[in-house]
Homo-oligomer: A and B are copies of this chain.
Amino acid sequence: MNDPTPAGERLLKVLSALGHPQRMRIIAALTAERNYVSRLAREIGMSRPLLHMHLQRLEAAGLVTGTLELSEDGKAMRYFEVAPFLYELTPRTITDAAESLRPEEEPESAKRKQEEEAQ
């Protein structure tokens, strides 16, 4: 598998995705059983649009995987499940990640700065 995201940015995504109570709960719920969006939203008492966004964030970080399946009665349902992951957080790990994060601190927002320097 090709991983387009550099190590630093990836860890950053993982950490910022995991550092949120709601998303921790989502991971917990999906660890217990894979589930589809609407039902999960009901179970953990969260609006579907919101859950959708959180799942998107978690999926972007590679922590959960979603697959669109067709139930027997023909309905399209998006099932999510946790992806097995293992990250070690140490000063060294973070330092390495930060190192590979230097050139462009934040991919898209860094652009603005340079565009406003023209005068």
Contacts and interface: CB of A to CB of B under 8 A. Distances in A.
Contact of A88 (B22, B32, B84, B86): B86
Contacts of A95: 27-28, 31-32
A41 interface: no
Interface residue range, chain A: 35 or more
A27 B94 contact: yes
A19 B24 contact: no
B98 A27 contact: yes
A78 B28 CA distance: 40
Interface in A68-119: 82, 84-92, 94-95, 97-99, 101-102, 105-106
Interface of A: 8, 12, 14-22, 24-25, 27-28, 31-32, 82, 84-92, 94-95, 97-99, 101-102, 105-106
